[in-house]
Structure 1
Amino acid sequence: MGTIGYAAPEYAGGGQVSTAADVYSFGVVLFEIFIRRRPTDDIFKDELNIVKFIEASFPGRVLEIVDPQLLQELEETPMALKEKCSECLLSMLNVGLSCTKPSPGDRINMQEVAAKLHGIKDAYLNSIVSSSLATLHRYDVFPTLIALSVNGTKEIDVKPYPVIQGAGRFPQAILNLSTLTILELAANGLSGEVPPNLFTSLPDLQILFLGGNLFLGHLPSSFTNASNIQALDLSRNNFTGLMPTTIGKLTKLLSLNLENNELQAHNREDWEFLNSLGNCTELQMFSMGYNHLSGHVPSSLGNLSSQLQELYLTNNQLSGDFPSGIANLRNLIFVALGRNNFTGVVPMWIGTLKAVQVPMEIFRIPAITGIDLSFNSLDGQLPTGIGNAKQLVILRVSSNKLSGDIPNTLGDCESLEGIELDSNIFSGSIPTSLAKISSLKVLNLSTNNLTGSIPASLGSLELLEDLDLSFNHLNGEVPTKGIFRNATTLKINGNQGLCGGVKELHILACSDVPSNSTRHKESLVLKVVIPIACVVSLAVVIFGYLLWIRKHNSKSISLPSFSTKLPKVSFNDLTRATAGFSTPNLIGRGRYSSVYQGKLLEDQNEVAIKVFNLEIRGAHKSFIAECNALRNVRHRNLVPILTACSSIDSKGNDFKALVYELMPRGDLHKLLYSTQDYECSSDLNLIMMAQRISIVVDVADALEYLHHNNQETMIHCDLKPSNILLDDNMTAHVGDFGLSRFKVGSTMSSLGNPNSSSVAVMGTIGYAAPEASFPGRVLEIVDPQLLQELEETPMALKEKCSECLLSMLKVGLSCTKPSPGDRINMQEVAAKLHGIKDAYFDAN
């Protein structure tokens, strides 16, 4: 169970799966992050393993073994910060030591781990704030300062510590700048709660951008005092709770962006804020997409400002009828309600499903330019009144259950540039009126039930650059003019009745019209041969089907249902997204699966598609295990799953895949070891001390959640750097649950096979008790980069930095004790690491 070097030593002797084993693996990963050495490196042989390596150097020689990058960073650190940095490093390693005790009973749990790590992280960040924001404190001498912009996405000349980036809490010094009218602190990695007195301290604020940070808690209650605020952006944080009903006091508000948080609204009382928001009569943009809004959207949505131009409620759990009253928003130019659960309503007095259709009223809004209703469960027909939306530029209703004919009046939308009607149940022919839309650039009608021929008039659309008609029931000759000349921008596969077209399409040529002399022979064929062929074919199909049923019943394991409704994808969708699972799209390969990157839809972010190789024994169970693990877990430090696909491929074989959000920075292993000769290479990724601390804390939080805060205790069983993925913000996400186990009481079950309880270890793992020499020589074994960072740290800070390093390694040692009972659990690990991090940042 697990991977050699990361698996707990008790597994080597056939020990039971336990949370303490995950704690041990976490401790090893913690060590690896700070010393940049794999537990399988050649240096670790005979009786020496990574845990003993840390113990032998802790705490006196830690700086000799840490990553040289960290040493270099430490050297460049102001003297006042070096001591705090060292303290943080020691504290982190100390948590690792608590995780790697030989006996499972001696290890701390993940709740303790998370608490300690958060303390260490906060202390470290606060130290950096105290030092790096020294110039910010001097702003007090500018009583008339009206604008302050420190955006983490822009280059700042202070290195290695940007003015605020990664600096922890909101800088309190800013609250003294009472004349500020503009405050921009976006994308700086700030955490904690926004000061409750922010708006009372800065009463003149007109523009506030705090997006892209890590703020949490409820929205600050004092923002109702910001009577002058015009633009408020709190997006991409971790705010929770309800939207305050006092929001309507911001009467000058033009733009309100709260997307990508964890705000909630479930019942009528929770939605009361909409009534209040109606008092913001100048509001032009409102977004609460990517939150936890659910239930019916009240009709008071139609009472929002008549000046509203953009409305975004996408990616929530909204349901029921389409929001009524939306036609009152006469100046609306873009509405995004995609990826929700809009469905029919069940009238109790009838007992039958009332179909929700794409509402006619939305097309009566004369200024509407964009409609996104994709990935819902809307059915019915597309209204013929759509032709009234003369200004409509984008129409997206993909992945619904819309049926009937595509209305001819769609061709009256003369401003359309994009039409996406794919993955519905549209039937009938392709309207020739679409050729009237001279501005059309994208037309996607794929995966429907369209019949008839392809209108040759579509070739006259000079701006059309993407035409997807695949997977319908079209027939006849493919036109050869305009876009039909370019096989790379035209998709028509999956239509068995098509013929002709340019030769690059590689489809059969169209047959000549039969002559009179051959019609008698063809008649004979029709009367005799075809019936015989049909009977034989039918027999073959029935026989094949019976064999398939027998095989399927003997081998299949039911696909677990997810608690959250996920968008459906087919094998064909994934094939298109990955260019046929091509090698250029391949980004990783594991024991049971290969991972590809691709786009399910052109205008969306890339996703990671994990395709299971079902020919390998255990792959099917691994798929089921991941589904079981992911269906009920949701945490910011777990890899987010988007959907699953259980289908058959083009050859009729079983096909299983999972679709995740793509983590752009890849996995931690690649980040740590960017070249083969990583110890000598100058091409290594530069990973700052603060980033390493944050990664450790993120992983600890994920394991604490799995062990202690989930409905059932989940044991990962295979924690290692390659299973830790990083997003654009360097936030760590734990993934790959193919070996995970659930623990209910004292009962252990494999997620792929509830009857399985045995533990298999790949290879021989030898771990002995910690040596008595711990912790004297840690600085001799740490990553040389860390040593260089420490050398460049101001003298006053060196000791603190060393202490931090020793503490970190000590935690790692606590996680890697040979005996499972001796290891601390992940609660203890997280607690210690947070404490070390806080102390480190305090010192800096």
Structure 2
Amino acid sequence: MALRLGGNDLVGRIPDHHPAPPRRHRLRILELDRNELVGHIPASLANITTLNVFLCGGNLIEGGIPDEFARLSSLLVLDVGGNRLTSSRFPHAILNLSALTVVSLAVNHLSGEIPSDIGNSLPNLQGLALGMNSFYGSVPDSLMNASELLLIDMSYNNFTGVIPSSIGRLTKLSFLNLEGNQLLAHRTRGWEFMNSLANCTMLQRISLATNHLEGPIPNSIGNLSNQLQLLYLGENKLSGHFPSGIANLPNLFALGLNDNQFMGELPEWLGTLEKLQAVDSSHNNFTGSIPSSQSNLSQLVSLFLNSNKFGGHLPASFGNFRVLNSLRISDNFLHGMIPREIFGIPAITKIELSSNNLSGRLPPEVGGAKQLVSLLLSSNKISGDITNTIGDCESLQYAMLDHNNFSGTIPTSLGKISSLQVLNLSRNNLAGPIPASLGSLQLLEQLDLSFNHLKGEVPTKGIFRNVTAMRIDGNPELCGGVLELHLLACPIMAINSSKKHEHSIVKKVVIPIASIVSLAIVISVMVFCKGKQKENGLSLPSFDSKFPKVSYRDLSRATEGFSGSNLIGKGRYSSVYQAILFPDRTMVAVKVFSLETRGAQKSFIAECNVLRNLRHRNLVPILTACSSIDPKGNDFKALVYKFMPRECAAGGEVSTAGDVYSFGIVLLEIFLRKKPTDDLFKDGLNIVRYVEMNFPDRISHIVDPDLQEDECDVSQRTSLAMKENSLECILSMLNIGLRCTNPCPNERMDMQEVAARLHGIRGAYQRGNMYRTPGTTEGQSD
């Protein structure tokens, strides 16, 4: 008999009364996974002695595994991963369940040492998942006695010591993940396990990343199973030359050697590993030229060679790649021109060549890269015009061409790229006007045109209305624009000499009249505004109907001379002090602008203009402003806000839990691309509840569609695996967001735990996208 309730958005607790069922109703399978269940695992479940499978992973269950579970002698599968289980010791009830074949305790808050006899107690074990907990101590030698083991995942814990040299006894082992620990290996000790692994002839995936492995990799790595598909050794302290034994691994499709201390040249034979889909050799000390033989890797999807010491030219033969998606070779010493051929790779979405010595022109073939999302060419020596064909990159979102030698004008065709979000053309030799077409880009969030030779009128539409989202400084001949830019007005266009008499009349008659009319309008508006201010001034509970006046002296006295004891925050342009002000002793926050900092004056004006016209329940109201002179004769500007401590608006108390809550909200905003003030959220529905309602089965319908990868020109099975990996990552991230925004502050994660989990999710996502093999699935969920 089976009871399958997984993935049904169930809430509440697991019922805690489970009498032994009649013989005719013997429950063997109980699936409660992927719901929203809370509370503890009831000890009374142990009364169901016929139970073979118990799944409750992916819930919000707390506590530990009841000791009574030791009576479940028929239990074969126990999965409680992805909950909030806590314990300072390994659940000893498990050791009495000798029939167990699968144990998953991953992604919880469990700690303690793994019992030294675990392998003897669980001789039938086939899968052991302990990842993302806080277990510590050494990897038990007895685990190698569980000869049926196929999968071991002990990643992201605190295991120390060496990897047991007896691991070769696990001849059926297919998956070994020990990354994210503190396991050791030195030149003279700790590498014995590599020789032993040669006996694991079915091994397909191994990750030892993010540990303390040091020295050269032994040549015995070449004796690993010829079925090996994934080898990830990144983020250690490995050194020496590129491991020659890897040449003996013909079925390898993912290789990660990043963030180590390797040196020397990449071998030409790397191009003979024809099944490689991902190579990450970034952040090492590799030198020499990039082997053109790598272009023989017809299945390569990602190639990361950034942050090394490669020289020479970028091989034009890279244009032979058919399914390459990401090419990252930034921060090297490449020189010569950018090969036009790379823009003809059908699937290319990311080209990152920043911080090299590349020169010549940007090839016009760039316009043929219809799938290109990121083009990062910063800090090179590229010259000539920015080709107008760049406007044909219809998918482009990030264009970083700054710190080069581009000349000519800014192409107006950039205004056709409706997907563009970030454009940086700063520190070049561009001249002429700023194209008004850039103002029509509705998704453009950051624009940097600073330090060029641009001149003429600054547009006033779109991004050009947001002075904090763009930079145009370092172009002294620019004029006009929005008032907050404080640029000089543009000169009146010269008039043809044939109309000299008419022009004279304009100067002598029309302009004075227009000036008088304008002055009258201004005065009328001022009078009208003054009257309206008296009538409809800022609403304050204890003041009259206008902004209260405060002086420098008032603010200095209220903040005790702007003392450090009253300082509650500091930013680039200002410092914020807590103070008590006004006759009714209102608690306020005084934001004092550091006018000696470039941009602070603009920030003050911008906040005045925006905040005095905005009213929203989620915005802190501004009470008044102060523009004065301090005792030293310096300009003084400050804004006075209503003081609203973290979460106080909701009736909560000030605590670090409030910061966690804010972080959770930001996380949800990023992945939904919706603000908490979106029109969707009304009638009691907020962003947190919205995510909860759709988590996890309908998440793909509400998240930002750009986050769900759609790989073109790769096999259908590979594409599906990559999409699944992206969704797993998104679910894990949103789960963190929900846990950070728990209504009960005491039940929220702390930021140390958040950081650890984000690190784990990032690593799993990167490897999942790089290393997924068609037809298989794996991963961790949070």
The normalised TM-score by structure 2 is 0.43
The normalised TM-score by structure 1 is 0.41
